[in-house]
Structure 1
Amino acid sequence: MRFLAITLIVHRPDPVTGVLVPTHERFREVRDNAVLAEELGFDGFGVGERHERPFLSSAPTVVLGHVAALTRRIRLFTAVTTLSLLDPVRAYEDYATLDHLSDGRLDLIIGKGNGTAQRELFHVTPEDQWERNAESYEVFRRLWRQDRVSADTRFRPPLEDAETWPRPYQRPVRVWHGSATSEESVDLAARYGDPLFSANVTHPVEPYAALVRHYRERWEHYGHDPAAIAVGAGSAGLYVARTSQEALAAYRPVFESNLAFQRSAGLPVVFETLEDFVARSSALIGSPEQVVDKVHRYHERLGHTVLHVTADAGGLPPARHRASLELFQSAVAPVLRRDIPDPPFAWAPVLPRQTPEPVPADR
């Protein structure tokens, strides 16, 4: 199993202290967390993309470019790249450049990922967002693989024998498809034989497991080898301590503050108590043995071989957050690496294909 630390660069008052750090300091935290993730042995570091409050992640290529300069080994993920909002040509140029600067350490997770505010900012509607996402991905994918591209597009000016520079380092870059609520994203991933990353954060496991089952069914429908499937999954929170009592006591102020924020913001509350949150969500809160057991139970439902945890303290004192990450890497990750296989591909730059890529079925 492989492990990512990710951030959406949320910028709101600390849920426990109420202190809002300056924007500059929040970015410095992201930088420091990326360096720490590599130091502790995480396999990847991910940065989200949002274009609305309370996020500072509107420019993930810039942030990951800086992280690339500070690290040497860890793979760099987007979580997620909102292709439904982006011009695929411009997205290609940005990410191809980043891929060169990082020596081929880039993986993309793409998705619709649209809140109301950012949809309105980019003039994207609920009715056309999935079509935009699919079209942008199909153009992006061809740009990465072909020296010249012609495409009769609906949502950007058509391309006619277009060249894009720089030409890519990885050939091709690996693209995961983020999946949260809709079958459209899992079908797009299955059609192209791409890996899937389940959000697995807001609700209990059942709706996410249903989408992963649908992905596996569509994968076989499109004629791909079931042995080549790769699934990643998120987690709703992380605090690993020596005992479950210590973990619950330390995390309770964070949970209760977040719960109060959800209620004040009019957001739906899924888990009313910390005990319910720990029992029924994907949060990894407890002793190392409890966390290992929970990941195993989720693996039985999702079959995932990549797991992401939060890179941010999120209300925990920084020293406690670091201690939790250290204990995760020393007492949890080694067991899961032994028990759960890696994805069915090398965790390394993608080498040029030696044979032509098959055309997806049902096109």
Structure 2
Amino acid sequence: MKFLLITIIPHVPNPRTGEVTPITERFREVIAAAELAEELGFDGFGVGERHEPPFISSAPPVVLSHIAAKTSRIRLFTAVTTLSLLDPVRAYEDYATLDHLSGGRLELIIGKGNGAAQARLFNVTPEDQWDRNREGYRLLRRLWREERVTWEGRYRPPLRDAVVVPRPLQREIRIWHGSATSRESVELAAENGDPLFSANVAQPIEPYAELIDYYRERWAYHGHDPADALVGAGSAGYYAARRSQDAIETYRPIFEARTARLRRSGQDPVFPTLEDALERSSLLVGSPQQIIDKVMRYHERFGHEVMHLPADRDGLTERQQRETLELFQSEIAPVLRKEIPSRPFPEPVSPTPTTGGTP
């Protein structure tokens, strides 16, 4: 199994102290988390995309470029690139550039995104968001693969023998499709032979499992070898300690503060208590063996080879975050890597010498 840390860079009060970290410092925390992830041996680090409060992740290519300069091995993920909101030509330019700056360590997770405010900001409607996502994906794929593109669609001006630069370092990039609750992303992934990344955060296991089952069904329908299907899945939170009692005691005030914030915003928590979340959600809190057992139970249902943990401290101290991630890598990850074989991630790409000039 492969392991990522992922953040959508929430900018909210510390659930234990109520303090709000200044924006500059919040970005520095994200960079530090990526450096820690590489130091400890995680396989990837992801930055999501949101265009509305309380998130400050509106420019993931910029953040990931800074992370690329601070790291050398870890793969860099977008989580997700909201193609329904973006001009795919501009998205291609950003990420082809990042592909070079990272030494070919980039992987894209795409999706239509969510949130009414950001949809209004980009003039996207519930009626057209999936069509925009599908059209953006297909054009992005062509731009990545072809040096000259002639294309016409509904949501941006047509291209006529267009040359879009720079050409990427990875001539073929893996594009994952992020899926939370709808079959549209699942169908697009299966149709095109791409991997699926299930959010697996906000609901009990069954809705996510049903979508993954549908992905595998549609994968076979489109003529792909079932053995080639690749699935990743998220987790709703993580904190491990050698004794489960200590893990629960540390995490309880964090969980309760987050639940109270949801209620203040008018939302009913799906998991009203920590005990309920531990029983029915993908929250990973407890001893190393308890976490191993829970991931294995999810794997029996999902068949996933990649999973993510939250990259944010979320009320933990810097020391607590380091210690619990060290415990994950020393006692949890080795067992899961052994028990759940996974396909290797691509190796970084060495630049191909050129004689100069734009093709």
**TM (normalized to structure 1)?**
0.95
User: Residues of 2 paired with 1:53 and 1:101: CA distance?
Assistant: 29
User: Residues of 1 paired with 2:172 and 2:265: CA distance?
Assistant: 42
User: Residues of 2 paired with 1:255 and 1:326: CA distance?
Assistant: 22
Between 1:68-77 and 1:262-271, the stretch displaced more is 262-271
Within the alignment, does 1:348 sit opposite 2:347 as a pair?
yes
* CA gap 1:32/1:346 in 2 versus in 1, 3 angstroms: closer
Q: Which runs of 4+ in 1 moved over 3 A?
A: 349-352
How big is the alpha-carbon RMSD for the aligned residues of Structure 1 and Structure 2?
Answer: 1.2
Do 2:151 and 2:160's aligned partners in 1 also have CA atoms closer than 8 Å? yes
Letter in 2 for 1:103: G
Q: Secondary structure at the match of 1:80?
A: strand
Shift of 1:52: 0.2
Residue ranges of structure 1 left out of the alignment (5+ in a row): 353-363
Shift of 1:346: 3.9
Shift of 1:249: 0.4
User: Residues of 1 paired with 2:310 and 2:336: CA distance?
Assistant: 17
Letter in 2 for 1:167: R
Do 1:203 and 1:281's aligned partners in 2 also have CA atoms closer than 8 Å? yes
**1:334 matched residue in structure 2:** 334
Q: Secondary structure at the match of 2:263?
A: helix
Shift of 1:349: 4.1
Shift of 1:13: 0.7
Within the alignment, does 1:211 sit opposite 2:211 as a pair?
yes
**1:255 matched residue in structure 2:** 255
Within the alignment, does 1:305 sit opposite 2:305 as a pair?
yes
**2:325 matched residue in structure 1:** 325
**1:58 matched residue in structure 2:** 58
**1:33 matched residue in structure 2:** 33
Do 2:49 and 2:79's aligned partners in 1 also have CA atoms closer than 8 Å? yes
Residue by residue over 1:303-338, the C-alpha shift from the partner in whole angstroms, topping out at 9 and shown as x without a partner, is 100000011110122211211111001000000000
**1:190 matched residue in structure 2:** 190
Within the alignment, does 1:166 sit opposite 2:166 as a pair?
yes
* CA gap 1:350/1:229 in 2 versus in 1, 3 angstroms: farther
User: Residues of 2 paired with 1:12 and 1:154: CA distance?
Assistant: 38
User: Residues of 2 paired with 1:225 and 1:267: CA distance?
Assistant: 42
**2:103 matched residue in structure 1:** 103
Letter in 1 for 2:59: A
Residue ranges of structure 2 left out of the alignment (5+ in a row): 352-359
Residue by residue over 1:165-201, the C-alpha shift from the partner in whole angstroms, topping out at 9 and shown as x without a partner, is 0011101111000000100000000000000000000
Do 1:8 and 1:50's aligned partners in 2 also have CA atoms closer than 8 Å? yes
* Percentage of identical aligned residues: 66
User: Residues of 1 paired with 2:274 and 2:175: CA distance?
Assistant: 35
Do 1:174 and 1:350's aligned partners in 2 also have CA atoms closer than 8 Å? no
Equivalent positions of 1:269-288 (< 5 A) are 269-288=269-288
Do 2:51 and 2:118's aligned partners in 1 also have CA atoms closer than 8 Å? yes
Equivalent positions of 1:147-162 (< 5 A) are 147-162=147-162
* CA gap 1:351/1:221 in 2 versus in 1, 3 angstroms: farther
Letter in 1 for 2:90: R
Do 2:44 and 2:75's aligned partners in 1 also have CA atoms closer than 8 Å? yes
Q: Secondary structure at the match of 1:84?
A: coil
* CA gap 1:90/1:304 in 2 versus in 1, 3 angstroms: same
User: Residues of 1 paired with 2:163 and 2:81: CA distance?
Assistant: 22
Do 1:2 and 1:305's aligned partners in 2 also have CA atoms closer than 8 Å? yes
Between 1:88-97 and 1:260-269, the stretch displaced more is 260-269
**1:229 matched residue in structure 2:** 229
Between 1:316-325 and 1:116-125, the stretch displaced more is 316-325
User: Residues of 2 paired with 1:129 and 1:57: CA distance?
Assistant: 20
Do 1:111 and 1:133's aligned partners in 2 also have CA atoms closer than 8 Å? yes
Aligned residue pair count: 351
Residue by residue over 1:44-66, the C-alpha shift from the partner in whole angstroms, topping out at 9 and shown as x without a partner, is 00000000000110000000000
